[in-house]
Every structure is written in structure tokens, then in C-alpha cells.
Amino acid sequence: MKFGGIIVAVGIIAIVMIIIIPVPLMVLDFLLSVNISLGLLILLISIYNKEPLQFSVFPSLLLVTTLFRLSLNISTTRYILKDGNAGNVIEAFGNFVIGGNAIVGFIIFMIIIVIQFLVITKGSERVSEVAARFTLDAMPGKQMAIDADLNSGLITESEAKDRRMRIQKEADFYGAMDGASKFVKGDAVAGIIITIINIVAGFIIGSFMNGMEISEAMQRYTLLTVGDGLVSQIPALLISTGTGIVVTRAASDSDLGNDLIKQLFRQPKIMFIIAGVLFVLGITPLPNTPYFMLSATFVFLGYILRKEIIKNESIELEEVEEAEVEEIRKPENIMPLLQVDPIELEFGYGIIPLADPNQGGDLFDRLVMIRRQIALELGMVVPMIRLRDNIQLDANKYLIKIKGTEVSDGSIMFNHYLAMNPGNASGDIEGIDTIEPAFGLPAKWITEANREKAEILGYTVVDPSSIISTHLTEIIKKYSYELLGRQEVKTLIDSVKEEQSALVDELVPKLMSYGEIQKVLCNLLKERVSIRDLVTILETLADYCLITKDTNMLTEYVRQSLGRAITKQYIQNKRAKVVMLDPNLEKLIMESIKQSEHGSYLSLEPSVVQVILNNLSTEIQKLVSIGEQPIVITAPIVRYYFKSLTEQSIPDLIVLSYNEIDTDVEIQSIGTVKI
């Protein structure tokens, strides 16, 4: 095993040298016997293999054995034509088959050639071609099945990698087998040609050069030619039969020598069977010395292998028993069951093509773009998004989960597009009425035939992948504050530290902890304020954290520092129509702020809260009726508490303070919320 690579390399070189350098007849007899033994070994291994990758070296071995047979053919042809003698093995095979009649023996030999060439070889070649084609065609489906099992959690990433490697190896093997089968075909053709050459040339040399009688020359050279052909074609027949059996193998990562030694000599019962066959051959008229020697060799190999297998089985059994005892002593490991994916997208089997690149799906690429978009807009790194297929869902339905809990869902129609009226579309189109899942807008499912018409009329037309990715993007934005943990905050701060080390060293952990900074950042994200300008945020916290430890108040200071960005986000053209709070209402809210050891909170009577919300709703309707975005402006100290007050009833209401708005923005009050 250790020197297998060297041994095989030397052996292949020796095979080539046999073609050039004559070998003694005794050595030639031995090599011919080895050729037969090797054919038996390959055939039996092909039959007894249980796993498809146990004989992955077969295509390369087929080339080596073919070369070995051809080199022996050349050596025997040299002796037949030169001396009229090719050793005891060939002569014994010739006498045994011919039985005193050269014509009958030649006909029998030709029948064997026909069987080898037209039946076994052609069949093996066809099997290899078909297997190669079907294996390559099945690769996309197998890869998709692996991805589905991985996304559903049935297998781990390591198991998926091993299965993908196995599929690749099988495909490589089929490609190799398709080409290697041509070696067997070529070998059969070469055997026929060599036989004809030996008979014709031998007859001419024996009759005209060696002075032999015509009948004697015919008898002599036919005997040697048939014997030579049998000695070479019998192992060729065995190996070509094995070629037809071995159709599911894969390339190996190890070198050829080690694979040959490991894979050929691994089953002791095969060694004993070969030893018995060789022993029987040794007691026939064939020369018994090489066969008895080889039989004893295989018996010894079988004994050693069997002893080693029994020893390994005993060790494995002891290890298994020890592992079982140790496992009983351990408490159940439930930690993997407690892990929850931050973001999950589950979908029915009908949506699988959108997530499969082999079927033209681009959902994976869109997930990458979603993470880039969120990073640019909100300044946070979105965790990995887990895709899972769920057979319990309707075929075209999907679910979006945040930390294992469903937060939204939707459905699509394949071969349809979603058409939405942005407000300026003219005319009507045929389609199925529905609701756009991301923003809840009325829309229609239309066919490909109506797509161009809808776009001409001014409708916004999107494909199913865009619908899912847009919906997922909005959900991530909405729940971004839940996805930002202390570890993510530390990662963001570490990236700032590379350029602003003095700032970070001053703030963390001397003045604020990661948890306190996280609360401020989550407050900003909850109202969709970008935290991308993290340097400004940390600068502000460093300035004001000595004044107050209330993270809500610190958030307001940060918002004021980000005033330019907030203004640009909500106010266009430096003009804004807004709703303001009556001074008496602001005074009431300030007087209702209570302090506690955990921070401040607003304490108002439920009836007062209801009146405030009713009046607010009336004023907001005024803005909506003139097509303006609802914005409420109030005093800085009141802004946070008023936003908290309206969060349950009007979650998307924009509440700004005076200090957050640029001084060059023109504010027009449409109404005032009074108490």
C-alpha cells in the first residue's frame, strides 16, 4: 500500500518495455498467466462491488490492461514468426482448442472473436454512452434535490458538499467510461488483425523461408496463432464483461497506484475464489508451476486480508460500544434545536423554480441585492436569509418569518405579471384583481399578452421574483430594529474603529456599553432613520451621554444631529405641509412625563389619549385629501412621547421635531391637534 504508486509506475514502464525488448519464454508464460489472473480479478470485483465508488479506478485500469495484452501480443508474435515457438502456455492452449484439427480450431477461435467484438464489446460501449448521457442530464435535478434538503434542514452544509462531490465524481466517471470503452473495441479489432497477420505471415515464413511443408506450416502456425489469440482474448473477454457491469463509478482523489492496491485487494473471499480457480488450472495440461504459485499467493493474500478485517471489526465494535455507553451518560444535546434563523422565506413547491438557478431562477441573486440595498439605505448588515421549501404551503404561496415567527405572507401566479396603477395610468386592462403584498395596493394579475399594453397605459408591471423580493425588502426594513443585536453593533463599531479609533476608545466601554448603543440604534431603525452615518451618531452619544443615560433622550439628540438626512428623507423641494400640536397639548404631554429608575414614560388618562388620537386622525385626513404625506411637527422634548402615543393606532405616522428640520425648509401648517 505504502509504495503502491511507485510499483504501478514501474509496472507500466515495464509493460512498454516488453514491446521493445524480448522477454524469455519462461517469463512470457508467467506474464500470460498473470494476464488471465488479472482478468478474473477485475470481473469478480465488478460483480461483488456494493458501492458505486468502490472501483472508481476502472477506466484507467482498462487502459493499462489493454496495453498489457497488446504488449504480450507483440512479444508472442515476435516468437511465433521468428522461432515458430511462443512458449508452453500458448502451445497448450492451441493444442487444447484445436484438438488435432487446425481448421476446426481456427473456426472456434474466430467464433470467440466474434462474441468478444460484436456482443460483449459493442454492448459495453453502448451501455457506457447511454449511462454518460443520462447521468449528465440528471445532474441539475440531483443538485436541486441537494439544495432543497439543505434549505429544509434535512442535511448539513458538510453533507451537502459531500453529496455534490459524489455527483461530480459520478459524472466524471461516466465521461471516462464512455472513452475507455473504445479501448476494449480497439483491442478486439487489434486481436483480429494480429491473428490474420500471424497466420498469413507464419505460413509464408514457414513455407518459403524455413523450408517447412505447407501442411506442416499451416498446422504449426495455426496452432500457435489460435493459442496466442485465446490467451489474450480470454482475459479481454472477462474484462469487457466487467466493463458492462461497472457503469456507476467516479474518479478518485488518490493516485492510481494507491487506488489499485487498495481497491483490488480488499475482499478476502475474492482472493480465495481466484486461488481456487488458479489451482484447478494448475492441475490441467497447462504448466502448473505459475498457477500453483499464483494460487498460493492469492490464498496468502486472502488470509492476511481476512485477518485484518476481523481485527478492524473487533476494534470498531469496541469503539461503538464505548460510544454508546458514553452517550448514555451524556445529557441530551438540545442546543441545535434552540437556534432560530433571523430571517426565513418559506415557499410552496411551485415557487422552487424561482430559487433554482438551473431553471432560470434569480431569487438567490436578488437576496444579495436586498442585503446591499438595506446596507445603503439603513446602514445595517442584514443577516443571512434562509430559503426553505414547505410542502404544507399552497404551491404558489410564501411566508416571511422573523426569528421563527411568521410576520407576513403572499402568493404569486406563474406566467403572470402584477400590474399596479401608480395614480396616473389611463384606461383599464383585463386581469385578476388582487392586492400587492408589500404595500397593500390594489393590483391585477395580467398575462404576458397584456404586459405591453399595461406599460403603455402607464401601469407599473413587475414579475413574480420582483414581487417576492420587494415584499421581503419592506419586511426587513420594518423589522430591522429586531435584527440588530449587540454582536451586530459590535461589528459595526469595530469597522468604525479602524478609522476613528479615538472616538470609539472614548465612548466604548468607558461611557456607554454595547447594549446602550444598541438601544439608540434600534430606536432610529424603528422609525426608519438610517444609521449609516455611524460616526456622527457615536460623536453625538459621546457628547451627551454624560448629561443623561436615558437612551430615549439620547436618541432625540442623535436625531437632531442627523437632521439634514432626516429632512431630505421626508421633505422634498424644501417645502412641507404638516400638522402641528397645540401648545396646550404639548404642555399637557410635558407635565405627564414621569421619571423612574428605568427611564421616563408618558402617563395620560385613556379618555384623554382617545381624544388626542381622534383629533389627530381628523387633521391627518386633511393632508391625505390633498395628496400630502402625513407629517406631525412638535417640540423636541415632546416628539418621542407623542410618537409612542400614536404608535399603536397609526404606526407609519411621521413625527418630527423642530430641531430636526433644516432652517431653509418652508413649513406650512394645515391643521393643529388640540386637546
What DSSP line would sit under 225-261, residue for residue? Answer: HHHHHHHHHHHHHHHHHHHHH-------SS-HHHHHH
Phi-psi region of 573 (alpha: psi -120 to 50; beta: other; left: phi over 0): left
Residues 187-217: tens digit of each pLDDT: 767 777 777 777 777 767 766 676 666 666 6
299 vs 209 pLDDT, higher one:
299
Residue 182 has what DSSP assignment? H
Given a cut of 70, is residue 35 above it in pLDDT?
Answer: yes
Torsion of CA 1, 297, 275, 75, to 10 degrees: 90
CA distances from 235 to 13, 116, 239 (A): 21, 11, 6
Residue ranges of domains in the chain: 4-128+176-264, 268-329, 357-481, 572-675
How far is the C-alpha of 88 from the C-alpha of 24, rounded, in Å?
A: 12
Residue 530 DSSP SS3: coil
Residues 518-530: tens digit of each pLDDT: 999 999 999 999 9
Please, are residues 532 and 379 in contact by the beta-carbon 8 Å criterion?
Answer: yes
Residues 245-275: tens digit of each pLDDT: 665 554 445 544 556 666 677 778 888 888 8
Which pLDDT does position 472 carry in this prediction?
94
242 vs 277 pLDDT, higher one:
277
Which pLDDT does position 251 carry in this prediction?
46
Which pLDDT does position 522 carry in this prediction?
95
Cell numbers at 609, concatenated? 389619549
- Average the pLDDT over each of 189-193, 555-559, 652-656 and give the range with the smallest value: 189-193
Across the chain, which distance is largest between two alpha carbons, in Å?
A: 137
How far is the C-alpha of 106 from the C-alpha of 108, rounded, in Å?
A: 5
Angle, CA of 445, 449 and 455, to the nearest 5°: 70
pTM of the model as a whole: 0.54
490 vs 424 pLDDT, higher one:
490
User: What integer is the mean pLDDT of 381-399?
Assistant: 90
How far is the C-alpha of 94 from the C-alpha of 108, rounded, in Å?
A: 11
321 vs 622 pLDDT, higher one:
622
Which pLDDT does position 92 carry in this prediction?
75
Residue 448 has what DSSP assignment? G
Count of H-run helices and E-run strands, the chain:
26, 14
Which pLDDT does position 256 carry in this prediction?
45
Residue with cell 482498462: 62
Cell numbers at 249, concatenated? 463509478
Which pLDDT does position 628 carry in this prediction?
86
Given a cut of 90, is residue 27 above it in pLDDT?
Answer: no
Which pLDDT does position 343 carry in this prediction?
94
- Range ranked top by mean pLDDT from 3-12, 99-108, 191-200, 299-308: 299-308
Residues 398-441: tens digit of each pLDDT: 999 999 999 999 999 988 999 998 878 888 888 999 999 988 88
User: What integer is the mean pLDDT of 601-620?
Assistant: 90
Cβ-Cβ contacts under 8 Å for 98 (sequence gap 6 or more): 104, 105, 106, 222, 223, 226
Average pLDDT taken over every residue of the chain = 82
Residue 434 parent element (H or E): strand 432-435
Torsion of CA 339, 342, 345, 346, to 10 degrees: 30
Which pLDDT does position 356 carry in this prediction?
84
Phi-psi region of 411 (alpha: psi -120 to 50; beta: other; left: phi over 0): beta
Which pLDDT does position 25 carry in this prediction?
81
Residues 223-244: tens digit of each pLDDT: 777 777 777 777 777 777 777 6
How far is the C-alpha of 128 from the C-alpha of 110, rounded, in Å?
A: 26
Please, are residues 564 and 662 in contact by the beta-carbon 8 Å criterion?
Answer: yes
CA distances from 158 to 144, 155, 165, 242, 355 (A): 16, 8, 11, 34, 21
Torsion of CA 627, 629, 632, 636, to 10 degrees: -150
Confidence of residue 51 (pLDDT cuts 50, 70, 90): low
Report the b/e string of 279-315 with b at 16+ CB within 10 A: bebbeeebbeebbeebbeebbebbeebeeeeeeeeee
Whether cis (ω within 30° of 0) applies to the bond prior to 464 is: no
Residues 343-360: tens digit of each pLDDT: 999 999 889 888 888 887
Write the CATH number of the domain with boundaries 357-481: 3.40.30.60
How far is the C-alpha of 659 from the C-alpha of 190, rounded, in Å?
A: 95
Residues 148-178: tens digit of each pLDDT: 777 767 778 788 888 778 777 777 776 776 6
469 vs 116 pLDDT, higher one:
469
Residues 584-595: tens digit of each pLDDT: 999 999 989 888
Residue with cell 388620537: 613
| Helix, strand, coil distribution of the chain in percent, nearest 5 | 65, 10, 25
Q: Which is it for the CA torsion 31, 33, 39, 42, positive or negative?
A: negative
- In degrees and rounded to multiples of 5, residue 398 shows phi and psi of -140, 155
- Average the pLDDT over each of 135-139, 401-405, 571-575, 645-649 and give the range with the smallest value: 135-139
Write the CATH number of the domain with boundaries 572-675: 3.40.50.12790
Please, are residues 250 and 166 in contact by the beta-carbon 8 Å criterion?
Answer: yes
Which pLDDT does position 651 carry in this prediction?
87
Residue 49 DSSP SS3: coil
Cell numbers at 540, concatenated? 453625538
- In degrees and rounded to multiples of 5, residue 603 shows phi and psi of -120, 105
Given a cut of 70, is residue 62 above it in pLDDT?
Answer: yes
- Average the pLDDT over each of 246-255, 289-298, 340-349, 384-393 and give the range with the smallest value: 246-255
Q: What is the DSSP string of 388-420?
A: EE-TTS-TTEEEEEETTEEEEEEE--TTEEEEE
Cell numbers at 490, concatenated? 459590535
Which pLDDT does position 494 carry in this prediction?
93
